[in-house]
Structure 1
Amino acid sequence: MTAAVDRRPARRCHNALNTLHSTHYFSPDLGRELGALGVSDPRAVNFAVRAGALGPVGAGTVTAVFYNYKHELVARHVPDVWTTVSPAAALAARLRAVDTTLRRLLGEEALASAEMAEAAQLALRATRGCSRGGRPLYSAHADLPVPDAPHLAYWHAATLLREHRGDGHVAVLAAAELDGLEAVVTHTATGKGMTPAFISETRGWSRADWDAAAARLHARGLIDIAGGTAEPTERGAELRAEIERETDRLDAGPYEHLGAAGLARLTELAAGFARTAALAGAFPARAFGKG
């Protein structure tokens, strides 16, 4: 029997990298940059900057790769957003917003530090262990040039690693027969995801949609909805744990490529930057938890 491989260190590294990557989604700087180009709706902004690497795609593609957004919401903004801003302009605006956001959250000294340069080098090295097959968001972002500034190169690498894991995660969710909303309902039930209110606001799901998904999950024995609050059953908790383990397995390449020493050092650096950003108010409290 083959001994189980502990991939939790790689997941911890990913979580720290993803935290810093995600800061720009909550930043007023992103809205300002896209607003100056004529895109003012926050959801249209999100679709434009994250899907921009794919080119001027339609709503079906965005719904498929984002996975947990209601298609009708996506279709209200895509492909119309491309008549206002080109994918290339959206990506350039995104990078400007990231630059401004990281300067504000981390400070100029951190951005110019040897630690930031080291983190960028390690994260970029990890991306050389990524694979393109079956990973549309990762592969599209991997075609983008690496920025010259170390803090932007670090963010770019974190983006690649985030989308690489995310693409694999979507495949695992689909294999587990969880649709996009069911996936977020089960995650939220664990207390580790975003709040139902924030998910509904940003992903386009109504209360009726949410309740219907919860009822389906309850019928499958995955959540308990007694008392009006969703809680994972033992079976549901194990499914979520297995989903994360399988996602870890599919995402092992970058961190194995980095090696144990590199992984430990990148995790240390990434956690420090993520902590600084969080303490600087990068994320709204209402977005996370069971809410």
Structure 2
Amino acid sequence: MTTAALEPRAGRRCAHVLNSLHATSYFAPELGEELAAVGVTHPRAANFAVRAAAMGAVGAGTVTAAFYNYKHELVARFVPAVWSLASPEAVLAARTRAVDAALRRLLGEETVTSPEMAEAAELGLRATEACARGARPLYAAHADLPVPEEPHLAYFHAATLLREHRGDGHLAALMTAGLDGLEAMVTHTATGKGTAPKWVLATRGWSQEEWDAAVARLRDRGLLDDTGELTERGVALREEIEDTTDRLDRAPYEHLGAEGVARLTELGAGFARAALAAGAFPADLIGKG
């Protein structure tokens, strides 16, 4: 293990690159097809099932708590009923088949079977050796899953572990900052880097009225101005949240070391660019519109 000093935001950059490829799975048509084949046909049910399945046949309360920014009433429409359609084990197997097919389509066979993919998988898995289970339910659940043998699936598994490890810590940072799930989405969107409002409203269960009420609360706290833009105080709070998230997520990247993190970021960025060029995401997913 190495303790080589990292550039302050090197871990954050690496995590974002890894998350970019992980996130392709939620928009891949292969995922909907594979889940439909095991009985899960509604897009919202599919979304909850595929991410929560590692935790077992949990109830709506557990999913709402772990996902944080979904309205509980929406979750409860589909959970735990989804487990009567397909077991968590069937959902996980369907996800593996979907990821396999999607990565082959987005990246191509040459990349999927390349030495670079095998190297990225090895680096990603090495970083996960320093992840911690405590107070990280989504990470801990996925950490109990077996590591796939094929390199592109092992890379996706490592990216998932690192994504959920950072995500669980990020929720702690949001709670410390006093932002509820919807307020977190509103402020993230206001940075220009978060999910566009129409996607939040379409997928998270919140109404326009609830979004507007969250905006009003944030304005009253001095975090948003009258146009919905972040104030200086709002910008500072979002950066404080990211800095806290970095601190809570530092261990895996310190474990991998500066050279390893740089190489994993380089490789992951190449895979993410290829997936983006292949149309992995909706064009209007990110932004304030």
TM-score tier, shorter chain, comes to over 0.9
Note the C-alpha offset of 1:6.
Answer: 4.2
Which residue number in structure 1 is paired with residue 131 of structure 2?
130
Q: Distance in 2 between matches of 1:207 and 1:5?
A: 42
Distance in 2 between residues matched to 1:157 and 1:46, nearest whole Å:
20
Q: Tell me the CA shift for residue 170 of structure 1.
A: 0.3
Q: Given the alignment of the two structures, is residue 236 of structure 1 paired with residue 234 of structure 2, yes or no?
A: yes
- After TM superposition, the runs of 4+ consecutive aligned structure 1 residues lying more than 4 A away are none
Q: Which residue of 1 aligns with 2:155?
A: 154
**Relative to structure 2, which stretch is displaced further, 137-146 or 31-40?**
31-40
CA shift for structure 1 position 99: 0.4
Q: How does 1:1-291 map to 2 (within 5 A)?
A: 6-226=7-227, 230-291=228-289
Q: Is the 8 A contact 2:7 2:258 kept in 1?
A: no
Is residue 136–residue 167 contact of structure 1 (8 Å, CA) maintained in 2? Answer: yes
Per-residue CA shift, 1:102-124, capped at 9, x if unaligned?
00000000011000000000000
Counterparts of 1:96 and 1:205 in 2: how far apart (Å)?
31
Q: CA deviation at 1:225?
A: 3.0
The Cα shift of 1:38 comes to 1.4
Q: Is the 8 A contact 1:7 1:249 kept in 2?
A: no
Q: 2:16 and 2:177 mapped to 1: Cα distance?
A: 22
SS state at 1:284 partner:
coil
1:85 and 1:5 map into 2 onto residues whose CA distance is 43
Offset at residue 224 of structure 1 (A):
1.2
In the alignment, is the contact (CA less than 8 A) between 2:69 and 2:185 conserved in 1?
yes
Distance 1:62 1:54 in 2: 9
* Paired letter, 2:40: V
Distance in 1 between residues matched to 2:109 and 2:130, nearest whole Å = 31
Identity %: 69
Taking the aligned partners of 1:279 and 1:263, their CA distance within structure 2 comes to 24
TM-score by length of 1: 0.97
1:57 counterpart SS class: coil
Report deviation, 1:5.
Answer: 7.5
* 8 Å Cα contact 1:110-1:116 kept in structure 2: yes
Q: Which runs of 5+ in 2 are unaligned?
A: none
- The Cα of 1:7 is off from its aligned counterpart by 2.6
